[in-house]
Amino acid sequence: MRMLKPVAIPLIAVGLALGIGAIILVVSGANPIEAYGALIDGSLSSQKTIGRTLEKATPLIMGGLAVAFAFRAGLFNIGGQGQLVVGGIFSAAVGFGFEGLPWIIHAPMALAVGALAGAAWGSIAGILKATRGAHEVITTIMLNFVALNLTDWLASHSWKDEGILSRTPAVEESAVIPLWGSFPTGFLVAVAASIACWYLLERTNLGFEIRSVGLNGDAARYAGISVQRIVIATMAISGLLAGAGGAIETQGVVGRYEPGFNAGLGFNGITIALLARNHPLGVIPAALLIGAMEAGGSMMQFNADVAPEITDIIEALMLLFVATPIVVRWFFSRQEVAEVSVTAGWGSP
Amino acid sequence: MSEALSVVAHPALEVQGVTKRFGDVLANEDVDFRIERGRVHALLGENGAGKSTLVNIIFGLYQADSGEVRRNGEVVHLNGPRDAIDSRIGMVHQHFQLVPVLTVAENVVLGDEPTRRGVVDLDEAASVVRGLAERFGLDIDPWVRVEDLPIGLQQRVEILRALYREVDILILDEPTAVLTPQETGHLLEVLRGLADTGVAVLFITHKLREVMAVADEITVMRRGRVVGHTVPADTDESDLASMMVGRPVELRLKRTPASPGEKMLTVVDLVVNDDRQTQALNGINLDVCAGEVVGVAGVEGNGQRELVEAVTGLRDVISGSVILDGEEIAGRSPRQISTMGVAHIPEDREKFGLIGAHTVADNMVLNRYHHRPYSRHGIRRPAAVDDEATRLVEEFDVRPPNIAAMVATLSGGNKQKVVAAREFSHESKVMIAAQPTRGIDIGNIEFIHRRLIEYRDAGMAILLVSAELDEVLGLADRVAVIYGGRIVAFESVDGMDRDRVGRLMLSGTDG
């Protein structure tokens, strides 16, 4: 039972959210069974829809990992969106900027450059925190605006495609992260990144340092760990993950960088990390769930005549219940209530 | 002796057969206990022995599961501090319940203010306070704001507050924990005086010296039960300690004189700032030789923390130098200094010494996880960590002996053993031990003291920083007294006695 608890709270939260969602559906005059049926139809019924779910889930995994990873060092990275668009446009630049490279070099290179651009963007906030004490929540939010305007400008000036649209040229065929049948290869990259994050956190010295700083920065410093170094490294890795998410989206889904194509993808990372309770492997099912809802949302709108906002409401409810475990705790027996620790902050285990 | 007491008709307060349970924990089990008017009653026991629970029942903060509390012979049911105060029971908590921005007089009368035409009459309040102060020898200026008073005087305000409500039972929870030796001496006199006016004083402590000095009666608790009741004439400190712990305890370490070797740690003209960037150490000189314990005595906040942090690399050195076995270490990182041979037991184990949510095993290697065999090429090797942790848990008798347990679940003494095990386990030249036994049980204090002396005898240079004067005088070969960021005396322990060190700690001079 003890082991089940971390899983139980998100599961109950999801169940509650779907239940209340059903009530809202009834109130709005729709049939919830039909609506949820359509949701599943649109996300899980065929190879094609499953492929779409995985495609939607991929950047969510990366964005969720970025937030969850930073949180393990006690850092709240709100800058996933900025790191993601920076990663996206740099991978696009490498993607359209080189011709005649073999796929095996070009695609990974574009992905790597995008990831590194995200890492650089993320580490700005890390450096500001480590050297000047600037709070990462403030700096990452501000850097989001800088990143959005910077990428908009690049897409409409230096790296602009021919024509009237503000967007970069399409990436070369050799830089595309392809579909394998209807299965998006980028999803494998995201899963590999989750496993790598888990390994890094649980099995390496760097991960031990990151977790130590996150749990008790004073004691970590007394034990000789350089907290500044860890803050910078963590923000860089967090940005790397978000940047790679932007690169995969560019190379695997959109095929170029187009301002606005990925609005909100980085922010969804916060939702995912919260649902996953900051566990790097928990990010995968959390992203699949939200990915399925996004993939199936349009089918629900089309088949059951439900406003697409209903999926947003259900997502928001899930968040609410995960973030306020008191409601969920009510579902545990009274004896266990005493055992569940009061959360210190959002998503703290 | 106790038969003679029992002929007094009705004790001020009597507790009979009280049992209190928290979940699975039996905090008080069938406790019988009485307090007489005009006597100082010491309630003695280790952390978790059930003293606080018993007192909270008496003060009405907890309700007993069974048993009864009698006041002057009548059964009473106190449902909270209000009832207790109405029943003329007062309590001075360990953490003061004062309003810092109000004056002494305002704090004393708060909740029961004298008024004139509906307005609080502060002049009246002040004169009441003056009257009380005079009567009980608790001299204080009623117009001073509480936040501007030193701790010892704040405590005096707490006592006055209880006296203003005309209590005839006064409970003090660990009142000397925050006081200097001089302040403690004065408090004990005040308690004696209060008892002489007929107040029943209940004094909770774990300090044996004070019990022997002031108590008329002593009740000892262990594991929720009353295990002994005695009077100072029939007992001594080591008897009491054994009663508290439940086995014979060695209070005074038998130790051979040190045979100091070469200078291992030398601090020269060290200047360091505190967190507010004002100078905390004004050019300190100090040295510790191999095979010797140098004790730093001082009232907290006189630069001890800054000294320790500067030596261990955790705080910037403004000027001066710190030399470890011939090498300058000022300006190096904490990790470099640790690797060069300085171990450190930090003053606050919870905050600085341990990561509560890590396992015992991970905490055991918190400063060495990056060395072989605990990791290789940056990859951790849990099996090697576990082996080392298992060995240390056994050697330092950490209980429960479960290396996978989260450190946060251990008791204070066992947490401190984890810190000590870690810091002693690597070959260091110098050990900086800051408040190494604060807040832990006698049994564990004895254990840690013995280890310190063992390592001293093995040739380690030990710098002991402690607010416990007995600890410094009992362990140190040389004593340095720190006052206002300066070392005001540094000499062999043979020439130091409690009074002299106490005066130096308080005023910087022994004149």
Cβ separation of A204 and B351 shorter than 8 Å?
A: no
B299-350 pLDDT, tens per residue?
A: 888 899 999 999 999 999 999 999 999 999 999 999 999 999 999 999 888 8
d(CA B153, CA B137): 12
Cβ separation of A204 and B380 shorter than 8 Å?
A: yes
Answer whether A348 touches B (CB < 8 Å): no
Q: Do B412 and B431 fall into the same domain?
A: no
Mean pLDDT of A314-318: 84
Q: Do B324 and B358 fall into the same domain?
A: no
Point out the residue among B335, B352, B380 whose CB comes nearest to the CB of A224. B335
A154-187 pLDDT, tens per residue?
A: 999 889 888 888 899 999 999 999 988 889 999 9
Contact between B418 and B390 under an 8 Å Cβ cutoff? The reply is no
Point out the residue among A205, A215, A218 whose CB comes nearest to the CB of B351. A218
pLDDT confidence of residue B429: 94
Lowest pLDDT segment from A102-111, A203-212, B224-233: B224-233
- In this structure, the number of other CB atoms found within 10 A of the CB of residue B43 comes to 28
Point out the residue among A204, A206, A221 whose CB comes nearest to the CB of B334. A221
Contact between A231 and A183 under an 8 Å Cβ cutoff? The reply is no
Question: Which of helix, strand or coil describes residue B492?
Answer: strand
Mutate to test the interface with B, among A71, A199, A208 (most CBs of B within 10 A): A208
Point out the residue among A211, A221, A338 whose CB comes nearest to the CB of B314. A221
Point out the residue among A203, A215, A224 whose CB comes nearest to the CB of B355. A215
CA distance A133 to chain B (A): 15
User: How does residue A335 score in pLDDT terms, banded at 50, 70 and 90?
Assistant: very low
CA distance A349 to chain B (A): 11
Point out the residue among B339, B352, B379 whose CB comes nearest to the CB of A222. B352
Q: Enter the tokens of residue B116.
A: 């004139």
Taking one residue from A and the other from B, the number of pairs with CB-CB distance under 8 angstroms is: 61
Q: Do B325 and B227 fall into the same domain?
A: no
Cβ separation of B355 and A206 shorter than 8 Å?
A: no
Q: Where are the beta strands (DSSP E) in chain A?
A: 179-180, 183-184
CA distance B316 to chain A (A): 14
Answer whether B377 touches A (CB < 8 Å): no
The residue that leads in pLDDT, A313 or B461, is B461
Backbone phi, then psi, for A164, in 5-degree steps? -90, -20
User: How does residue A327 score in pLDDT terms, banded at 50, 70 and 90?
Assistant: low
Chain B residues near residue A218 by CB distance under 8 angstroms: 351-352
Point out the residue among B338, B354, B375 whose CB comes nearest to the CB of A219. B354
Chain B residues near residue A222 by CB distance under 8 angstroms: 312, 314, 334, 344, 346, 352-353
Q: b vs e for B468-497, b when ≥16 Cβ sit within 10 Å of the residue's Cβ?
A: bbebbbbbbbbbbbbbebebbbbeebeebe
| Residue B334: closest C-alpha in chain A | A224
Using the Cα atoms of residue B307, residue B313, residue B317 and residue B319 in order, give the sign of their dihedral.
Answer: positive
Q: Which of residues 21-50 of B touch A (CB under 8 A)?
A: 23
Cβ separation of B314 and A215 shorter than 8 Å?
A: no
Which of B405, B426, B447 is where one domain is finished?
B426
Is B347 within the bounds of a domain?
no
A18-41 pLDDT, tens per residue?
A: 899 899 988 888 888 888 888 888
**B287 Cβ contact list (under 8 Å, min separation 6):** B263, B265, B266, B267, B294
Mutate to test the interface with A, among B340, B344, B366 (most CBs of A within 10 A): B366
Can you list the residues of chain B whose pLDDT is less than 50? 1-7
Cβ separation of B352 and A203 shorter than 8 Å?
A: no
Q: Enter the tokens of residue B313.
A: 């690399």
DSSP A164-175: SS-SPPPPPGGG
Q: Do B489 and B432 fall into the same domain?
A: yes
Cβ separation of A222 and B357 shorter than 8 Å?
A: no
Q: Do B123 and B66 fall into the same domain?
A: yes
Using the Cα atoms of residue A251, residue A256, residue A258 and residue A261 in order, give the sign of their dihedral.
Answer: negative
Which of B375, B391, B426 is where one domain is finished?
B426
Bridging pattern class, strands B169-173 and B200-205: parallel
Q: b vs e for B231-267, b when ≥16 Cβ sit within 10 Å of the residue's Cβ?
A: ebeebebebbbbbbbeeebebeeebeebebeebbbbb
Chain A residues near residue B355 by CB distance under 8 angstroms: 212, 215-216, 219-220
Chain B residues near residue A226 by CB distance under 8 angstroms: 333, 335
Q: Is the pLDDT of residue A99 over 70?
A: yes
d(CA A282, CA A198): 10
Cβ separation of A222 and B380 shorter than 8 Å?
A: no
Task: Tell me which fold the domain A29-306 belongs to.
Answer: ABC transporter involved in vitamin B12 uptake, BtuC (1.10.3470)
Cβ separation of A205 and B379 shorter than 8 Å?
A: yes
Chain A residues near residue B352 by CB distance under 8 angstroms: 218-219, 222
CA torsion A310-A258-A43-A178 (nearest 10°) is: -170
ipTM of the complex model: 0.84
Chain A residues near residue B312 by CB distance under 8 angstroms: 222
Contact between A87 and A118 under an 8 Å Cβ cutoff? The reply is yes
Domain ranges of chain A: 29-306
CA distance B313 to chain A (A): 9
CA distance A19 to chain B (A): 35
Q: Is the pLDDT of residue A326 over 70?
A: no
d(CA A30, CA A301): 11
What's the whole-number average pLDDT of chain A? 87
Q: Is B111 exposed, middle or buried (0-12, 13-18, 19+ CB in 10 A)?
A: exposed
With residue A110 as reference, give the H or E element that holds it: helix A103-127
Bridging pattern class, strands B217-222 and B327-328: unpaired
Q: Is the pLDDT of residue A346 over 70?
A: no
Cβ separation of B355 and A212 shorter than 8 Å?
A: yes
Q: Is the pLDDT of residue A340 over 60?
A: no
d(CA B385, CA B365): 7
Is B346 within the bounds of a domain?
no
Percent of chain A with pLDDT over 70: 90
Is B295 within the bounds of a domain?
yes
| pTM for the model | 0.79
Cβ separation of A219 and B367 shorter than 8 Å?
A: no
Cβ separation of A211 and B358 shorter than 8 Å?
A: yes
Chain B residues near residue A215 by CB distance under 8 angstroms: 355-358
Structural domain that includes position B104: 2-245
Q: Do B203 and B312 fall into the same domain?
A: no
Chain B residues near residue A203 by CB distance under 8 angstroms: 379-380
DSSP A32-52: HHHHHHHHHHHHHSSHHHHHH
Q: Is the pLDDT of residue A345 over 60?
A: no
d(CA A190, CA A186): 6
Q: Do B188 and B123 fall into the same domain?
A: yes
| Residue B333: closest C-alpha in chain A | A224
d(CA B181, CA B202): 20
Answer whether A204 touches B (CB < 8 Å): yes
Mutate to test the interface with B, among A200, A202, A205 (most CBs of B within 10 A): A205
Q: Is the pLDDT of residue A344 over 70?
A: no
Q: Do B365 and B509 fall into the same domain?
A: no
Closest CA to B16 of B67, B60, B87, B54: B67
Question: Which of helix, strand or coil describes residue A7?
Answer: helix
Name the residue type at position A159. Answer: W
Q: Do B107 and B240 fall into the same domain?
A: yes
Point out the residue among A203, A204, A224 whose CB comes nearest to the CB of B334. A224
Which of B221, B245, B269 is where one domain is finished?
B245
Is B348 within the bounds of a domain?
no
Cβ separation of A212 and B333 shorter than 8 Å?
A: no
- Report the domain count for chain B: 3
Q: Which of residues 355-374 of B touch A (CB under 8 A)?
A: 355-358, 362, 366-367, 369-370
pLDDT confidence of residue A239: 97
Q: Is the pLDDT of residue A195 over 90?
A: yes
List, in sequence order, the alpha helices (H) in B426-484.
Answer: 442-457, 469-475
Lowest pLDDT segment from A43-57, A122-136, A223-237, B177-191: B177-191
Cβ separation of A203 and B379 shorter than 8 Å?
A: yes
CA distance B218 to chain A (A): 37
CA torsion B197-B199-B200-B201 (nearest 10°) is: -90
Q: Do B336 and B441 fall into the same domain?
A: yes
pLDDT confidence of residue A243: 96
- CATH number of residue B483's parent domain: 3.40.50.300
pLDDT confidence of residue A332: 55
Distance of CA B358 to the CA centre of its chain: 26
Is B349 within the bounds of a domain?
no
pLDDT confidence of residue A120: 98
Q: Which residue has the tokens 């005023």?
A: B507
